[in-house]
């Protein structure tokens, strides 16, 4: 499978597995056990260290991503969530 196609599928799975609370603009990603404020998404280019550490560990163990792939997936994932929460 083409690696770009694989990474797009990883993003799709992450978005699908993320719970969104549209009323309170919160999100609960599959790699965390707590709900997070929407504001944690808007700094997606420089992710919060704790959130990114959980994301990194989850994606490394679950999908076998490299460091470069991790950043690409993080950027696409957070942009997708920002779009969903902004338009709700």
pLDDT at 12: 97
The DSSP result for 18-79, as a single string, is -EEETTTTEEE-TT-SS-EEGGGTTTTTS--HHHHHHHHHHHHHHH---HHHHHHHHHHHHH
| Mean pLDDT across 9-34 | 90
pLDDT at 24: 82
pLDDT at 61: 96
Whole-model pTM: value is 0.83
pLDDT band at 26 (very low <50, low <70, confident <90, very high): confident
Start-to-end C-alpha separation, the chain: 34
What is the DSSP code (8-state) at residue 87? T
Residue boundaries of the structural domains of the chain: 3-86
Q: Which carries the bigger pLDDT value, residue 72 or residue 52?
A: 72
């Amino acid at each position: 499978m083409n690696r770009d196609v694989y990474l797009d599928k990883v993003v799709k799975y992450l978005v699908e597995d993320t719970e969104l609370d549209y009323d309170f603009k919160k999100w609960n990603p599959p790699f965390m056990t707590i709900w997070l404020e929407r504001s944690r998404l808007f700094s997606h280019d420089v992710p919060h260290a704790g959130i990114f550490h959980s994301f990194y560990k989850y994606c490394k163990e679950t999908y076998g991503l490299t460091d470069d792939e991790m950043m690409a997936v993080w950027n696409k994932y957070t942009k997708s969530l920002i779009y969903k929460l902004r338009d709700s």
